[in-house]
Amino acid sequence: MGRIAHRLACLLLGGLAWSAQAVEGPRPFVVGSLKEIQAQYAGKPLIVTFWSVGCTHCPAELKTLGALKRRHPDLNIVLVAADTPDDGPETRRLATQYGLAKAPQWVFADPIPERLRMDIDRRWYGELPRTHFYDAGHRLEAVSGVVPEARLRQWVAANLR
């Protein structure tokens, strides 16, 4: 196999591996993952929502975020499930159900979730949903509990231009 053909084969296989990983389920969220997410969206408004399959109030927020994403396709939303990697298929199903199938999805992948919560925000004790709003300068506004739809729309209007 020629050098160019070999490189093309490697690129193709790498692309297929990445594509398969994206289809398999959410990425593992470990210490440092939030910094990775922030770096990926540097200079861009971003909503990171922490939720769980078993959270009573999370579906209402996911539904509202899904509706906002449909109205504002450029809205950057990242989902982080405070569940386990075994819950990946269910988190993916629920994200799809609420119109967020294309949003990047992560799932807690540390056997000690407190370590992840401390890395995310030392003042957060795990209440869900938890929403982090980052403006273009990445100033953080963290909200525990369901964010009212009017408040979400207000943030989108102020930050998407």
Q: What is the pLDDT of residues 107-140, one digit of tens each?
A: 999 999 999 999 999 999 999 999 999 999 999 9
- Report how many domains make up the chain: 1
- pLDDT at position 161 is 78
Residue 2, in any domain of the structure: no
Residue 66, in any domain of the structure: yes
Rounded to 10 deg, the angle between the 58-71 and 88-97 helix axes is 50
Give the model confidence (pLDDT) of 49-90 as tens digits: 999 999 999 999 999 999 999 999 999 999 999 999 999 999
H-run or E-run covering 62: helix 58-71
Partners of 131 in beta bridges: 49, 143
CATH of the domain at 76: 3.40.30.10
Residue 4, in any domain of the structure: no
Residue 15, in any domain of the structure: no
What is the distance of C-alpha 48 from the center of its chain?
Answer: 6
The pTM (predicted TM-score) of the whole model is 0.85
Check if the beta carbon of residue 95 is closer than 8 Å to that of residue 107. no
Tokens of 161: 């231009």
Q: What is the DSSP string of 63-86?
A: HHHHHHHHH-TT--EEEEESS-GG
Tokens of 137: 């300068």
Residue 136, in any domain of the structure: yes
Q: Are strands 77-81 and 46-51 parallel, antiparallel or unpaired?
A: parallel
The one-letter amino acid at 154: Q
DSSP assigned state of 45: -
Residue 34, in any domain of the structure: yes
Domain that residue 59 falls in: 25-159
Handedness of CA 53, 93, 108, 87 (dihedral sign): positive
Q: Work out the pLDDT band at 6, boundaries 50, 70, 90.
A: very low
What is the rounded CA–CA span in Å between residue 135 and residue 121?
17
Residue 155, in any domain of the structure: yes
Percent of the chain with pLDDT over 90: 84
